[in-house]
Structure 1
């Protein structure tokens, strides 16, 4: 049996089933020629709705029209936005900005690597990188907006070098750090 003949027989069977279903739905009282058209429209719309929903909620690439802050490459901004998505996805907006601010504060501190990738991929520096979530999240426009706000000088962390979620923290060392502020579920420390 060829593919074309199989498709033809599948269409005839489907059409026959649709016509029988419409015959049992007498209250609609549509003309006979319109019943199959309405049923096909319902089937097509039920297929299109998930596709439209996927299209509306797809990850957004970084805005190309916005200027990149001096000293930072597009790759650095993408890495920072992905860190926001992975570490602070459900946090309030100031908490998302503060995650990027922590990376920028580490760039200024002599005890840390001198590049954005060096800081983000430093072993055990960020839980989302260590457990692989960093590469699995969808980066959204708000993640880029939080990154740009931090790159433009907003630091809700007030100079913090570390942050952690007290409900998930397993390191006793992080509790020894001087705490600065709490934003959402994260505590920011020096």
Structure 2
């Protein structure tokens, strides 16, 4: 191909790729900015999503104070609303390596969901004791050094919450 033609086609090709990525990003979000995300056309807060969120809360924070359980649910909801993460509760929960209790199967072994279900409902209704955190971890457990690069916002029970 002639170098002059290449100089013309290369920027066009790059523009097409960038436009495709831009459109994919907004289609992936599946929502208008500020709207409540949905999963498969159903509003957030369906019984399946509530159960999944409650299971995650029970598995990740079942021994934490109630506010700490709500905080774990709030992190999930903050991720759902963030363009950096999947736009559904199940997408966030099942994102590879996102939550230890999913990786090790504990999420399916929890049986007492009463308190965790209330905490899930509170998180879905907007209570966020983390002030917008996207991450949480127990500093007494071994974690990736990367997580310590996050800005810590607060600590509730045994978990720290960060952006």
- 1:88 maps to what in 2? 61
- 2:155 maps to what in 1? 182
Q: Does residue 122 of structure 1 match 2:100?
A: no
Give the superposition deviation at 1:180.
Answer: 0.2
Moved over 3 A (4+): none
RMSD: 1.0
What is the SS of the residue equivalent to 2:119? helix
Higher-Rg member (1/2): 1
Q: Give the 5 Å matches for 1:11-160.
A: 71-160=44-133
What is the SS of the residue equivalent to 1:119? helix
Whether contact under 8 Å (1:81, 1:139) holds in the other structure is: no
What is the SS of the residue equivalent to 2:44? coil
Change (3 A) 1:135 1:71: closer
1:169-189 deviations in whole A, cap 9, x for unaligned? 320001110000000000000
Q: Does residue 167 of structure 1 match 2:145?
A: no
* TM score, norm. by length of structure 2: 0.72
Q: Distance in 2 between matches of 1:120 and 1:99?
A: 11
Q: Distance in 2 between matches of 1:81 and 1:139?
A: 10
Q: Give the 5 Å matches for 1:3-18.
A: none
Whether contact under 8 Å (1:82, 1:134) holds in the other structure is: yes
What is the SS of the residue equivalent to 2:64? coil
Q: Distance in 1 between matches of 2:54 and 2:71?
A: 12
Q: Distance in 2 between matches of 1:90 and 1:155?
A: 19
* TM score, norm. by length of structure 1: 0.62
Give the superposition deviation at 1:139.
Answer: 3.4
What is the SS of the residue equivalent to 1:87? helix
Give the superposition deviation at 1:74.
Answer: 0.9
1:56-112 deviations in whole A, cap 9, x for unaligned? xxxxxxxxxxxxxx5321100000000011000110000000000000000110010
- 1:3 maps to what in 2? none
